[in-house]
Amino acid sequence: MKAQIITIGDEILIGQIIDTNSAWIATQLQNNNISVTQILSISDKEEAIFNALSNSQDQTDVVLITGGLGPTKDDITKQTAAKYFNTFLQRDEKVLQHVTQFFEARGKEMLEINRQQADVLKGCTILFNQYGTAPGMLIKKGATTYIFMPGVPFEMKHLMNTQVLPVLCKQDNTTYLAQENIIVGGIGESYLAEKIADLESELPAHIKLAYLPTLAFVRLRLSGTGAHKDDITKETKEFASKLIDRLADHVIANHDTSIEKFLIHKFIRLQLTLTTAESCTGGSLAAMITVVPGCSTMYVGGTVPYSNKLKQQLLDVKEETLSQYGAVSEQTVIEMAQGAKHKFDTNYAVATSGIAGPTGGTPEKPVGTVWIAIAGEKETIARKFQFQNDRTINIERTRQLALFMLWQLLVKEHQIGIDL
């Protein structure tokens, strides 16, 4: 089964909000063996909505549309859909009763525009929205099923989980999807492609290899399609195994994860603890870690000693070290990492210090100069990096490479394998 996703809203096109709905929907569809062929964001205008619906007809099995179902004048999805499906809106008494109860339960007056929430497409299947006042609607035209849902994320997710996915999973599906993900580090995308070029050339037409690079890692995704689920799953796994064997020194994980989730998982399994001491990254490394559920088992917390004074007070960095070598130096970042590990009694500590930019550089230490140190159970490692003068990119590179160096030392000291 093939699907398209359409999100409606000017707020997405002008960058006022990020379209998280499409990413979430695509993940749920993928998990249920439904392939997404297109994701489209359009404006709250009749022509844009009408054309998007028209262009998708008979081109895909199902189209999922979010947004524009609210009660205000800028929400015109239902009216435009009525024109496209050559039908009209009619008020549904069950939906109206739900909307009425929704307002009564909150002690609020219900206006006429709120009653209009109960207007649905004639001939549609109503998807009741227990968490809001805008119902979803399912309607078919030609060979395509259209599903309209509210744009409010928690309302959309409720409808997807309780009503949409159960309906879609009952439909016949003659094509099965198999996917394998491999996370690699320490090798650039072009070098990676060269290293596995012969294996990539062996891939049959029904298995595709995609490269998804970040600033420090590359995710390899194998996507296979076939008529028999077990066969395509086995074949895709076999090619993934070949890639893992070839890239053994660089493979971090053989499933869809992130470096921070991988590290947290390993630290918990090994009963290790971690702290961070961030100067140039300003706490963003800690934010990457603490956003992952369960991190409190291994992450004790961190410091942001931006000034030399705090480096001395919080981490016991020596005044003579700062005077002789400066804050951005191998000597200082090592003392930061070792001081953090000692002061907060952890197994590992990560320290960063650098000149993120766009100002502050010198001929000896230009903008983009960064030092990272990892204090481990047996040794401390430190590396210097020379980035460019983009502050945001410099900080992002630093925190990703800090996690990569932490992985390297963890592998060395504990001989861990890939994350299964």
pLDDT one-digit tens code per residue, 4-42: 999 999 999 998 888 999 999 999 998 888 889 999 999
For the chain, how many structural domains are there in total? 3
Are residue 313 and residue 357 in the same domain, yes or no?
Answer: yes
Between CA 233 and CA 27 the distance in angstroms is 18
Instruction: Give the count of beta carbons closer than 10 Å to the beta carbon of residue 234.
Output: 13
For 384, the token pair is 């210097």
Q: How does DSSP classify residue 117?
A: G
Q: Which of 253, 280, 308 is the last residue of a domain?
A: 253
Task: Specify the 3-state DSSP secondary structure of 384.
Answer: strand
One domain, residues 59 and 197: no
For 359-415, the pLDDT digits (tens) are 888 999 999 999 999 999 999 999 999 998 889 999 999 999 999 999 999 999 998
Kindly state the tokens that stand for 320: 């003579």
Give the Å distances, CA to CA, from 111 to 114, 246, 255.
5, 65, 51
- Asked if 51 and 124 sit in the same domain, the reply is yes
Q: Choose among 45, 40, 34: nearest CA to 21.
A: 40
The 10s digit of each residue's pLDDT in 36-60 is: 999 999 999 999 999 999 999 999 9
Q: Are residues 232 and 142 in the same domain?
A: no
Same domain, 359 and 243: no
Q: Which of 181, 189, 297, 190 is nearest to 243 (CA)?
A: 181
**Amino acid at site 303:** T
CATH of the domain at 120: 3.40.980.10
Residue 215 maps to which CATH number?
A: 3.30.70.2860
User: Structural domain of residue 56, as residue ranges?
Assistant: 2-170
Rounded CA-CA distance 222/161 in Å is 27
Question: What is the pLDDT, as a whole number, of residue 415?
Answer: 82
The pLDDT of residue 173 is 66
For strands 274-278 and 348-354, give the pairing.
Answer: parallel
Alpha helices in 250-385 (DSSP H): 259-270, 284-290, 308-315, 319-325, 330-343
Distances in whole angstroms, Cα of residue 389 to Cα of each of 236, 282, 358 = 42, 17, 5
Residue 329 DSSP symbol? S
Please indicate, yes or no, whether residues 50 and 113 belong to a single structural domain of this protein.
yes
Final residue of a structural domain among 253, 282, 298? 253
Of 170, 187, 213, which closes a domain? 170
- In terms of Cβ atoms closer than 10 Å to its own Cβ (0-12, 13-18, 19+), residue 23 is exposed
- Rounded to whole angstroms, the Cα distance separating 385 from 416 reads 26
Average pLDDT on 105-109 reads 86
Q: Cα torsion at 330, 335, 338, 344 (round to 10°)?
A: -140
- 28 and 122 share one domain: yes
Residues 283, 286, 289: CA angle, nearest 5 degrees: 155
3-state per-residue secondary structure call for 49-62: HHHHHHHHCCCCCE
Residue 420 has pLDDT above 60, yes or no: no
Mean pLDDT over residues 255-277, rounded?
A: 94
Decide if pLDDT at 306 tops 90.
Answer: yes
Contact 24, 164 (CB under 8 A): no
Please give the pLDDT value at position 307: 96
Distance CA(43)–CA(263), nearest Å, equals 41
In angstroms, the CA 291 to CA 289 distance is 6
In whole angstroms, what separates CA 327 from the centre of its chain? 34
Distances (CA, A) of 394 to 242, 249, 306: 34, 26, 16
Q: What is the pLDDT of residues 189-213, one digit of tens each?
A: 999 999 999 999 999 999 999 998 8
CATH number at residue 304: 3.90.950.20
**Residue showing tokens 């409190």:** 296
Rounded average pLDDT over 67-74: 85
Say whether both 95 and 192 belong to one domain: no
Residue 388: both structure tokens together? 């460019």
Q: How many CB atoms lie within 10 A of CB 201?
A: 7
What is the amino acid identity at position 336?
M
CB 303 within 8 A of CB 336: no
pTM of the model: 0.71
Mean pLDDT of the chain: 93
Span between the terminal Cα atoms of the chain, in Å: 29
Assess contact for 150 and 132: CB atoms under 8 A.
Answer: yes
17 and 133 together in one domain:
yes
Query: In this structure, are 397 and 333 located in the same domain?
Result: yes
> In whole angstroms, how far apart are CA 51 and each of 73, 83, 138, 204, 354?
20, 12, 19, 36, 51
